[in-house]
Amino acid sequence: MPYVVLGGAQIAVGAGAIFARYALGGAGPLAVSAARLAIAAVILLSVTALRGTRVRVSLTRAQQGILALAGLALAAHFATWIWSLEYTSVAVSVLLVATTPIWTAIYDAVFHGHRLSPTAMAAFAGGAIGIVMVVGASTPVPPPVSGDETLGAALALAGSLLFGAYLLLVREVRTELDTLTIVRHTFGWAAVALVLAALLARQPLPPLTDVRPWLGILAMALVSQLLGHTALNASLRWFSPSAVAFANLLEPLIAAALAFALFGESLSAAAVIGGLILLASVGVVMKEERFDLDGT
């Protein structure tokens, strides 16, 4: 059962980019992101209400502010990452968005004085080389989704940085608040921000009769967001946070395999080598930093 839960989580989260590609066939990235977070937030609130939980956590102003900022960072993460799928392949997008542990480790080294071992510094150098190889060797994605590969890579990297900001903010209140409280508030703030952004950008949801995009949106919300991330947290009952973090390196591989099978997307030999270097670098950084995914 532990391996089924952890493996299922990797498949569910790794398939998120595939679901997003289907959703983007009928709506813009802001609308897709807004629908994903709104559905997830509504379900979380409904589950809380059905459980009859009367205990309400009293949040301080500082905690409310941190959760609001974390929600906005999460909203920007999903918007930029899903937008990147309009310009670059699933494999490149997911590979680059998986670099979050590198940025959080650099943040801790610069602002919290965490000393970096020679191994970690070598991993950062390897990660930089891997990113350059992946971006430089990426090929245009098949129609109808194609565009500027460099812009797509930049958006995916922005999504990675923004998710790092979300994790760092959540870390500030993780010992004080339970996971459900954190997720409920951050998902709620993210949903509100994305809905407003979609309205301002005039990005409507797809018509209800357009089944394919809606199936993609619902799959993102139910499978990737709720089922996948819930399973990741549940797997912490049997595995250490470091083990779960290492297992997350399977997500780019799962996404790339699904994209090849469904969309015919492939990577050049140089991009594959760069991707492997990048994944190895992320793995080394995770091991060095004991990166904790609980509550994400």
Domain ranges of the chain: 30-204+239-289
Report the distance separating Cα 140 and Cα 158, nearest Å: 20
DSSP SS3 for 148: coil
CA-wise closest residue to 210 among 65, 56, 25: 25
Report the distance separating Cα 266 and Cα 278, nearest Å: 17
Q: What does 103-171 look like in DSSP terms, one character per residue?
A: HHHHHHHHHS-PPPPHHHHHHHHHHHHHHHHHHHH--PPPTTS---HHHHHHHHHHHHHHHHHHHHHHH
Residues 6+ apart with CB under 8 A from 36: 23, 78, 217, 220, 221, 225
Q: Which helix (H) or strand (E) holds 98?
A: none
Distances (CA, A) of 26 to 31, 203, 204, 206: 10, 10, 9, 5
Give percent helix, percent strand, percent coil of the chain, each to the nearest 5: 75, 0, 25
Q: Residue 30 is which amino acid?
A: L
Task: Record the tokens describing residue 270, joined without a space.
Answer: 């140089």
Residues 6+ apart with CB under 8 A from 53: none
What does pTM read for this prediction?
0.83
pLDDT digit of tens for each residue in the chain (296 aa)?
778 888 888 888 889 999 998 999 889 999 999 999 999 889 888 877 776 655 456 788 889 999 999 999 999 999 999 999 888 888 888 888 888 888 888 888 888 777 777 887 888 788 888 877 877 666 555 544 556 778 888 999 999 999 889 988 988 887 788 777 888 888 899 999 999 999 999 999 999 889 999 999 999 999 988 888 778 767 767 775 556 666 777 788 888 888 888 888 877 788 788 888 888 887 777 676 554 443 33
CA-wise closest residue to 295 among 187, 195, 217, 205: 187
Report the distance separating Cα 257 and Cα 243, nearest Å: 22
Positive/negative CA dihedral, 46, 51, 52, 57: negative
CB 192 within 8 A of CB 37: no
Q: Which helix (H) or strand (E) holds 106?
A: helix 100-111
Task: Record the tokens describing residue 5, joined without a space.
Answer: 């839960």
